[in-house]
Amino acid sequence: MIAIEILGPGCQRCDEAERLVKETVNEYRIEAQVEKIADFRQIAARGVFSTPAVVINGKVMTVGRVPRKSELLEWLGVA
The one catalytic residue among 4, 6, 7, 14 = 14
Active site residue 7: no
Helix (H) or strand (E) holding 20: helix 12-27
Catalytic residue among 11, 44, 45, 79: 11
Find, among 72, 75, 50, 44, the residue nearest to 63 by Cα: 50
Q: Is 15 a catalytic residue?
A: no
Largest CA distance in the chain: 33
Active site residues: 11, 14
